[in-house]
Amino acid sequence: MIWVVRRFARRLRNVARPSLADRELTREIDAHLLLLEDEFRRRGLSDEDARYAARRAFGGIEQAKEQQRDARSFRWLDDAGRDVQYAARMLRRSPGFTIAAVLTLALGIGANSAIFTVVHAVMLRPLPYPEPDRLIGVVQQHKSFGVDVVTLPDYLEWRDEAKSLAALGAAWKITVNLTGVDEPERLGGAQVTSNLFRTLGVAPQLGTTFPDSTSDSQSVVLSDRLWRHHFGAAPNAVGRTVWLNGVRRTVIGVMPPGFAWPEGVELWIPLVPEAAMNRGYHQLQVTGRLARGATVSDARAELEALAARSAATFPATNKDWGVQVSSLLDYTVGPASRSLVILAGAAGCVLLTACANVGGLLTARALARRKEISLRTALGASRSRIMRQLLTESVVLSLLGGIAGVVVAEYTIPALLSLTTLPRAADIALDTRMLLATLIASISAGLLFGLAPAAATSRFAVSTAIRVRGDVTSGWLRSTLLVLQIATAVVLLTGAGLLLRSFYKLQTVDTGLNVDRILTARFFLPRASYPEERRVSLYEEMIARTKALPDVADAAVVSAFPFSGASANVAFTVPTRPASESLLTANFLAATPGYFRTMGIPLLAGRSFETTDTATAPFVAVVNQSMADRYFPGQNPIGQSIQILGPKPRQIVGIMPNLRQRALHLPAEPEIYVPHAQFPSGGMFLVVRTKDDRPQRVAPAVRATVRSVDRDLPIASIRTANQLLSDTMSSRTLNLVLLSVFAALSLVLSVVGVYGVLAFTVSRQTIEIGIRMALGAARRDVLLLMIRTGLAPVIVGVACGLALAVVSTRVLRTLLFDVTPSDPATLVAAVLVLLAASLAAVVGPARRAANVDPLLALKAE
Amino acid sequence: MTSEGSGRVELLQGTLDLIVLRALTTMGPQHAYGLAARLEQIADHPFSLNQGTLYAALVRLEQSGWIKSTWQKTENNREAKYYAVTKSGARALDKQTERWQRLAGLVNKLLLEESS
């Protein structure tokens, strides 16, 4: 069937050069006619009769040419080429319209390209492991505490017993100080089971990973970045030594670029099981590979059964704990997907509004082109031919919009990513796939907004163009498009309003803190190089030197600063009470004596820590109000003993007010503070109160002070308390900013639409208005009539939009704080904003109508 | 299949191609006029075909690589484009003829059954 291909190729070639083939054909037909004439002359006809007879015998010359043209090339492609040229000419001729339409589309398409790029990278792109469909993530789920990572004993049971799993690996995220290299670094690492890499199916690019025997605790596997950064990508890096948290380790392997499991981790060391054989200690991120043929639900059923067995065997720790098994992709992306889907929906709404707007513009323009189109119809162009040409114009428009949209997306994506901490967002960029998606979106948008106007326009027949002034069909079309825009704008405005209200309410949540003057610096002192006594003295010295800085009012050290995410939930007991079934837990923090003073937190009762609360003095603790309310209701907690992290009981000596520790939208949890000297933990925050409201300014001095105390100590990060606070809002910020931008875009587009439609109506009805005024209508009547005309579609749109908003804002529920999805105040505000903006848009054209001079209007006719 | 007035016939698209290919095979290289004259002769009717309709068939055959064309002088010293069957054209004729006969047989059978 080679000839099919050959013919196709030749037809295609003829599309490119129609004139050459046409000339050849004309020559051939002329020759043919001459031969025919010769024949007829031979039969005895006169020259003229012969020519006539030849023509008759040949048939229609133009028809023959047309038929041959159809056969030799692709006619529609030929036409399309001509249509594109024609469209380009038409668009060049009205630059104002073209620019407005292209910009509108660029915003709509650009927003979608940007969001879709992110959605694809985060949610749709397969995980970078072989056979990613077989990978699962497992978490444990408590009936009332919710979801948590997995304990080591539970993990080991699953690994050894689950038949639906080919492998089950685990990782415990840690943070490490990397030294023994040029630049010390503090970074994320993980203790992993030896089978983790095998489970994920990734081999090192250099060296090996951990052997199955767990005795080896001296080795480390590095990420590609660390290898390049610290070893200059040297092949002999394997075998070199580095120091992790003060412990010497040998590099045995380097993972390929892009490998980071768990996310953000840059080096891996073997998991030492004895260290954490505790069924109450949830620490492991568990990922498994399904056995061939097994499904996620097989694994779920099997692990649920194992969890039920453990709950029966170990009720003290495993009661009420179940499991949650999901694909590794869902496990990784988790809750981020929800807000991305919402944003994608909002971006889609913006594109819809943009399409409706350009559709409105096209309809108005089509009226102005009535003459041209009637002329073409009169000259024999079929309706479908005219529609095709009009559609070509709108597709050309939307392709231009798409190109501009790619530029918009290119600049939007980095801004978008800077607003958020999405999983898997490390290497997001526009790629060919996105360009292709944008192309498809552009063409579909072009067809979407072009179809209805083209259908309405191509209906103009010769007679109507001449006789009828107004036109009915495109009038209702424009109104419908407008209603659609307004309704979309109401939905987006409501959504943005709801998020805005939540954001505002969160901002004004009483954190119990006044932190405008607080700077924090985070450290980690590894046990190997900083034994406990050393830690205490080191922090004492650091505090003393920092306090001596000129701009510093006070300084202290705490193990977990509010909103840093460092607080730990720990179980405790009350020795005077019988052991209860349910676990008592509270956030556990260690602080130096000056902490409450530095933070400006007044104690509600009892005393704060003193310098006399040393490791050898009686153990004490300060608890917060929530702890007192929950665990000592109706009693005075001061004087009570608790036992936490160690055999020695602690006496409660003070009560402090509640602070929000984890997140603004969660209520304050019970908290136990102990003196740092009595629990010298390694990971700490240096908290500095400055004398003025610009704590950022003392950051260099604090950094220098820390270095003067210990030059090997890396500071993980220096941040003001307000920065830490706004970090916790980052996912909300993304949603809020984007949805607000989308709502604003959609509002502007609809207002432009309202203005455009009324301005057009006024210009078309000038004569009618003139007649009315000549017959005695007052200026006021005309003004009101025009405002009514202009606002009618707005009112309908608002009504539709309200109904839609009440239904669709429900998807926002989980993102809201202290606001219901159908919050009446927000709905009313959205409607008022839209009405006010529309009214502003209507007034201009309406006044123009009222200023019509009846004489001039009638003369124009 | 519609037939216009005055006895002119329109043909199934593939049919004309087959006829032209066959005619060129039996007659040897020929120009469009010569072909048209030959077809009229066979059809026993001087104006059974608009001669212009040949051109679509000729270009289809040429693009398929079954015939090739050259400009030559006629006996009367007129210039004309001569078409000749290529090797692959000869092979195609066999195949298409067989196909046509099978199709014609089928149509005939259907028509007979319908009318009985």
DSSP class per residue in A341-396 = HHHHHHHHHHHHHHHHHHHHHHHHHHHHTHHHHHHHHHTT--HHHHHHHHHHHHHH
Looking only at Cα atoms, what is the longest distance across chain A? 138
Name the pLDDT band for A573 (thresholds 50, 70, 90).
Answer: confident
Query: Higher confidence at residue A427 or residue A755?
Result: A755
Helix (H) or strand (E) holding A147: strand A146-148
Chain B contact for A29 (CB, 8 A cutoff):
yes
Place of tokens 């606070």: A725
- What is the end-to-end Cα distance of chain A in Å, rounded? 66
Angle between helices B32-43 and B54-63 (to 10 degrees): 120
> How far apart are the C-alpha atoms of A494 and A338, rounded to whole Å?
18
Query: Residue A854, Cβ neighbours under 10 Å: how many?
Result: 17
Helix (H) or strand (E) holding A491: helix A473-507
Backbone angles phi, psi at A214, to 5 degrees: -90, 5
Angle between helices B13-27 and B54-63 (to 10 degrees): 80
Is 50 exceeded by the pLDDT of residue B2? Answer: no
CB A487 within 8 A of CB A830: no
Query: Residue A680, Cβ neighbours under 10 Å: how many?
Result: 23
Average pLDDT of the segment spanning A696-710: 87
Tell me what the pLDDT averaged over chain A comes to. Answer: 84
Nearest Cα to Cα of residue A501 among A111, A812, A831: A812
User: Considering the domain B13-115 in this protein, what is its CATH number?
Assistant: 1.10.10.10
Is 50 exceeded by the pLDDT of residue A814? Answer: yes
> How far apart are the C-alpha atoms of A474 and A791, rounded to whole Å?
18
Lowest-confidence region among A222-226, A643-647, A659-663, B30-34: A659-663
Query: Residue A4, Cβ neighbours under 10 Å: how many?
Result: 9
**Six-digit token string for B56:** 């679509």
Q: Cis (ω within 30 of 0) for the bond into A262?
A: yes
* pLDDT tens digits for range A3-31: 778 878 877 777 767 678 888 888 999 99
Q: Which residues of B touch A31 (CB under 8 A)?
A: 31, 33, 78-81
* pLDDT tens digits for range A337-373: 777 888 888 888 888 888 888 888 887 777 777 777 7
Name the pLDDT band for B6 (thresholds 50, 70, 90).
Answer: very low
Q: Across A278-287, A470-479, A806-815, B26-35, which has the greatest mean pLDDT?
A: B26-35
Is 60 exceeded by the pLDDT of residue A390? Answer: yes
- 11-30 in B: which are within 8 Å (CB) of A? none
* pLDDT tens digits for range A71-125: 887 777 777 788 888 888 888 888 888 888 898 899 889 988 888 888 888 888 8
Average pLDDT of the segment spanning A805-834: 85
Q: Annotate B39-102 with three-state secondary structure.
A: HHHHHCCCCCCCHHHHHHHHHHHHHCCCEEEEEEECCCCCEEEEEEECHHHHHHHHHHHHHHHH
Name the pLDDT band for A334 (thresholds 50, 70, 90).
Answer: confident
> How far apart are the C-alpha atoms of A331 and A342, rounded to whole Å?
19
Helix (H) or strand (E) holding A397: helix A383-418
Backbone angles phi, psi at A358, to 5 degrees: -65, -35
% of chain A residues with pLDDT over 90: 20
Chain B's closest residue to A29, CA to CA, is B52
Lowest-confidence region among A146-160, A457-471, A512-526: A457-471
Query: Residue A557, Cβ neighbours under 10 Å: how many?
Result: 27
Task: Measure CA A612 to chain center.
Answer: 52
According to the model, what pLDDT value does residue A462 have?
A: 47
Cα A546 to Cα A242, A526, A559: the distances in Å are 31, 22, 18
According to the model, what pLDDT value does residue B115 have?
A: 62
CB A287 within 8 A of CB A135: yes
Nearest Cα to Cα of residue A715 among A525, A519, A516, A517: A525
> How far apart are the C-alpha atoms of A115 and A675, rounded to whole Å?
48
CB A442 within 8 A of CB A398: yes
Query: Residue A666, Cβ neighbours under 10 Å: how many?
Result: 9
**Six-digit token string for B47:** 């104006």
Is 70 exceeded by the pLDDT of residue A581? Answer: no
According to the model, what pLDDT value does residue A141 have?
A: 84
Q: State whether A64 and B92 contact (CB < 8 Å).
A: no
Is 50 exceeded by the pLDDT of residue A466? Answer: no
Task: Measure CA A760 to chain center.
Answer: 39
**Six-digit token string for A650:** 């602690």
According to the model, what pLDDT value does residue A403 have?
A: 92
Is 80 exceeded by the pLDDT of residue A837? Answer: yes
| Least CB–CB distance from B59: residue in A36, A60, A71 | A71
Average pLDDT of the segment spanning A670-693: 89
Name the pLDDT band for A772 (thresholds 50, 70, 90).
Answer: confident
Q: State whether A32 and B32 contact (CB < 8 Å).
A: yes
Task: Measure CA A573 to chain center.
Answer: 43
Q: Which residues of B touch A35 (CB under 8 A)?
A: 31, 33-34, 74, 78, 80
Is 50 exceeded by the pLDDT of residue A463? Answer: no
Q: Which residues of B touch A2 (CB under 8 A)?
A: 65
Query: Higher confidence at residue A666 or residue A171?
Result: A171
Average pLDDT of the segment spanning A741-770: 81
Q: What one-character-per-residue DSSP string does A187-252 give?
A: EEEEEE-TTHHHHHT---SEE----S-TT--SEEEE-HHHHHHHHTT-GGGTT-EEEETTEEEEEE
Helix (H/G/I), strand (E/B), else coil: A613: coil
Is 60 exceeded by the pLDDT of residue A596? Answer: yes
Name the pLDDT band for A460 (thresholds 50, 70, 90).
Answer: low
Tell me what the pLDDT averaged over chain B comes to. Answer: 80
Is 70 exceeded by the pLDDT of residue B67? Answer: yes
**A486 CB-side CA count, 13 A:** 33
> How far apart are the C-alpha atoms of A598 and A555, rounded to whole Å?
6
Pairing mode, strands A282-290 and A165-179: antiparallel
Chain B contact for A13 (CB, 8 A cutoff):
no
* pLDDT tens digits for range B8-28: 444 556 788 888 899 999 988
> How far apart are the C-alpha atoms of A808 and A494, rounded to whole Å?
10
Is 80 exceeded by the pLDDT of residue A430? Answer: no
CB A318 within 8 A of CB A192: no
* pLDDT tens digits for range A203-229: 999 998 888 765 666 889 999 999 998
Domain map (residue ranges) of chain B: 13-115
| Cα-only R_g, chain B | 16
> How far apart are the C-alpha atoms of A802 and A506, rounded to whole Å?
26
Q: State whether B56 and A59 contact (CB < 8 Å).
A: no
According to the model, what pLDDT value does residue A288 have?
A: 94
According to the model, what pLDDT value does residue A214 have?
A: 58
> How far apart are the C-alpha atoms of A817 and A204, rounded to whole Å?
45
Is 90 exceeded by the pLDDT of residue A725? Answer: no
Is 80 exceeded by the pLDDT of residue B71? Answer: yes
According to the model, what pLDDT value does residue A96 have?
A: 82
Is 90 exceeded by the pLDDT of residue B39? Answer: no
CB A735 within 8 A of CB A340: no
% of chain A residues with pLDDT over 70: 93
Is 70 exceeded by the pLDDT of residue A467? Answer: no
Whether pTM > 0.80 for this model: the answer is: no
Ordered alpha helix ranges (H), A59-204: 61-72, 75-93, 95-119, 152-161, 196-200
> How far apart are the C-alpha atoms of A383 and A373, rounded to whole Å?
10
According to the model, what pLDDT value does residue B3 have?
A: 35
Q: Which residues of B touch A32 (CB under 8 A)?
A: 31-33, 51, 80
Average pLDDT of the segment spanning A412-435: 77
Name the pLDDT band for A582 (thresholds 50, 70, 90).
Answer: low
| Nearest chain A Cα distance for residue B34, angstroms | 9
Query: Higher confidence at residue A324 or residue A175?
Result: A324
Name the pLDDT band for A275 (thresholds 50, 70, 90).
Answer: low
- Strand pairing partners for B72? B80
Please return the burial class of A17, using the count of CB atoms within 10 Å of its CB with bins 0-12, 13-18 and 19+: exposed
Chain B contact for A72 (CB, 8 A cutoff):
yes
Is 50 exceeded by the pLDDT of residue A256? Answer: yes
| Nearest chain B Cα distance for residue A385, angstroms | 23
Cα A665 to Cα A186, A661, A794: the distances in Å are 30, 10, 37
According to the model, what pLDDT value does residue B12 have?
A: 59
Looking only at Cα atoms, what is the longest distance across chain B? 57
Is 50 exceeded by the pLDDT of residue B5? Answer: no
- What is the end-to-end Cα distance of chain B in Å, rounded? 22
**Six-digit token string for A430:** 């526009």
